[in-house]
Structure 1
């Protein structure tokens, strides 16, 4: 009897937590780099690319499942090379040196983009 009640309470708590989560609130902490800051670096890169006047792009959301350690150096961004086999265009946000941790020394996160419709 107690287990179903505990499960239901836990499940409803998880749903409420997930409903309140968004990239806007996923900010960096001393231990992890937030998806908000990763997306913002992709946006800075795309703003520079859009200023070149060729194709125009919008930045989409990075994968919400991504969890990476805090970066110890400024983030960098570049177009994801086609040789990596991504099916759609994306920006790679790169951390060349993560804060000391037991998981990874550096990392990169793919942030999808989509081409803005051409205006006639």
Structure 2
């Protein structure tokens, strides 16, 4: 009986914690680069692309499962090359030099985008 109660309480706590998590609260720490900052870099890139007056794009959220080390240099962004085989357009946010860690020296995160719908 006690196990059932503890399991129920633990699951409830997990659900509450996950419900309060969002890209907006996933900020960078000394050890990891936050998805919020990665999405903001993609938004900055798309704002520049939209200003060119061609196609208009909206930035979606990056995959919430992504975990990358803190970047030691400013992030860069570009369109994801078609040669990488992605079926939908995305922005590649690139870190060319991650802070010293045991996992990776550099990384890139693909942030999905969608074309804005034409308004009548």
Normalising by structure 2, we get a TM-score of 0.96
- Tell me whether 1:47 sits opposite 2:47 in the alignment: yes
CA distance in 1, matches of 2:92, 2:79: 6
| 2:66 match | 66
**1:24-50 superposed Cα distances (whole Å, 9 cap, x missing partner):** 111000010000000000000000101
For residue 8 of structure 1, report the CA deviation from its aligned partner: 1.5
Residue deviations 1:86-112 (CA, integer Å, cap 9, x gap)? 111000000001000111111100000
1:6 CA displacement: 2.1
The residue that corresponds to 2:107 in the other structure is: 107
Report the count of equivalent residues: 120
Gaps of 5+ in 2: none
Q: What residue is the counterpart of 1:57 in the other structure?
A: 57
1:3 Cα deviation (Å)? 2.5
Structure-to-structure mapping, 1:11-90, within 5 angstroms: 11-90=11-90
Q: Matched residues in 2 for 1:119 and 1:18: separation? A: 36
Tell me, yes or no, if structure 1 residue 92 matches structure 2 residue 92.
yes
Whole-angstrom distance in 1 between the partners of 2:116 and 2:20: 29
For residue 10 of structure 1, report the CA deviation from its aligned partner.
Answer: 1.3
